[in-house]
Amino acid sequence: EYRVGDLYLSPAQHIVRCGGQEISLTLKEFELLCLLLENKGIVLSRDRILDKVWGDAMGRESRTVDVHIRTLRQKLGPAGGCIETVRGIGYKLKGAD
């Protein structure tokens, strides 16, 4: 289980909550959020995110990550602000436990 501010995620139960309200995510959004939480504070490149979340899928593009991050931020509302863009590199999750 992971907690960052108002954000709660349970991989075992496949549940994401923000401020006590359950958030519905697609499988890829959920996997992306798990990856960011597992590596909190560590900058993950777009390529690393693609490898971990999308694997060796054909025709993948780094913009896929950007689109999923944007959607994830929108769905998480204020808690989406803990996903930080590291210009020219990728993304990291910030925030207090």
Question: In this predicted model, what pLDDT tens digit does every residue of 59-83 receive, in sequence order?
Answer: 667 788 999 999 999 999 999 999 9
Q: How buried is residue 64: exposed, middle or buried, by Cβ count under 10 Å (0-12/13-18/19+)?
A: middle
Taking residues 16-30, report their average pLDDT. Answer: 94
* β-bridge pairing 21-22 and 83-86: unpaired
The pLDDT assigned to 24 comes to: 95
Residue in the block written with tokens 């519905």 = 24
| pTM (two decimals) | 0.89
